[in-house]
């Protein structure tokens, strides 16, 4: 008896297979499963290829999977997207018991151990998801690139590029941001960033998100502009938590876990977030997840098959 967790994302997707003892049997990684980026037919192809691959590597048949939980980015937002994702997943997982949720749900499961609390995702996109003791759930953010995804790597990447152009032509005072970005992308010509962003990178959401790494490097080098970008991002994440606390009437001391590449910036994002929570009297415990989102997906598959988590589940599934 096996349980499969799928943690989809805007950049990569992880597949984790565990047994009834929560032992990890196999895990694999593939590209994005965001339907806006690859479309319905490609989503079917990607899911099918990786379901077959993890079964082959584990020497099991598809029918031996008792339950699967798939955290799919974009799920639950648009009626047509829900229908397309439902269709795509059913094409691949028919014959298996499965459930689909937004990818934020698996982050919550991993971060809180499926307990009352909130998980913030700030990766290529951003979203917050929470659930209370009564099982009521709510989400905040996750509106998508361009109109939302505040504090995401894509959002930060756009701010970095905008700031670079302003510093480059003199509207802002030049900082180390310019030097770091130009060294990273081997820029020799004045307008070369235009060719890089629009022609070489095709203004890809994934590639734009990678410019957030420049913000971290510049902040670490003392760039106040980039330090303030992270403070602005922290403020947006604070509002996500504030909304969900009110929406779900979360008890004092509720857990807030976090995941996604933006948090690799460490104290630049976490310290201002902690300060805002404290200054606004939001009593919560901000914790770094002990498990990855794909572990959360596998745990949900396990729980949805009428199992209970043992107290030492973290040690078992790692």
Residue ranges covered by each domain of the chain: 2-113+291-317, 117-147+230-287, 153-223
Provide mean pLDDT across the span 226-252. 98
* Residue 194: partners with Cβ closer than 8 Å, 6 or more residues away: none
- What is the rounded average pLDDT for all residues in the chain? 96
Mean pLDDT computed over 28-55: 96
Q: Same topology for domains 2-113+291-317 and 117-147+230-287, yes or no? A: yes
Given a cut of 90, whether residue 139 has pLDDT beyond it is: yes
For residue 290, the model assigns a pLDDT of 87
Write down the pLDDT at residue 276.
98
Fold of 2-113+291-317: Nucleotidyltransferase; domain 5 (3.30.420)
Res 300: pLDDT:
97
Helix (H, G, I), strand (E, B) or coil at 172: coil
Reported CATH class of domain 117-147+230-287: alpha beta
Percent of the chain past pLDDT 70, that is, above it, reads: 100
74: pLDDT confidence band, cut at 50, 70 and 90? confident
pLDDT in the model for residue 146: 86
């Amino acid at each position: 008896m096996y349980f499969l967790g799928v943690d989809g994302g805007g950049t990569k997707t992880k597949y984790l297979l565990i047994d009834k003892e929560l032992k990890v049997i196999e895990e694999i990684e593939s590209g994005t499963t965001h339907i806006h980026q690859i479309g319905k037919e490609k989503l079917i192809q990607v899911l099918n290829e990786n379901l077959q691959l993890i079964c082959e590597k584990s020497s099991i048949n598809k029918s031996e999977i008792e339950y699967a939980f798939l955290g799919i980015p974009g799920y639950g937002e648009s009626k047509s997207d829900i229908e397309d994702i439902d269709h795509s997943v059913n094409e691949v997982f028919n014959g298996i018991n499965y459930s689909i949720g937004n990818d934020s749900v698996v982050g919550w499961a991993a971060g809180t151990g499926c307990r009352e609390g909130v998980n913030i995702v700030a990766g290529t996109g951003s979203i917050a998801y929470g659930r209370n003791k009564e099982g009521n759930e709510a989400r905040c953010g996750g509106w998508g690139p361009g109109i939302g995804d505040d504090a995401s790597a894509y959002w930060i990447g756009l701010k970095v590029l905008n700031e670079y152009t302003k510093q480059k032509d003199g509207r802002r005072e030049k900082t180390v941001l310019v030097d770091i970005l130009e060294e990273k992308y081997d820029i020799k010509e004045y307008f070369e960033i235009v060719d890089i962003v629009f022609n070489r990178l095709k203004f890809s959401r994934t590639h734009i998100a990678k410019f957030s790494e420049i913000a971290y490097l510049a902040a670490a080098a003392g760039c106040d502009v980039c330090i303030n970008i992270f403070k602005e991002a922290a403020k947006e994440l604070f509002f996500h938590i504030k909304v969900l606390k009110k929406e779900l009437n979360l008890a004092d001391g509720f857990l807030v876990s976090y995941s996604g590449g933006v948090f690799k910036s460490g104290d630049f994002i976490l310290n201002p977030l902690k300060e805002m929570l404290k200054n606004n009297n939001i009593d919560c415990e901000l914790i770094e997840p002990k498990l990855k989102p794909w572990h959360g997906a596998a745990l949900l598959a396990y729980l949805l098959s009428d199992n209970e988590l043992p107290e030492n589940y973290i040690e078992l599934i790692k």
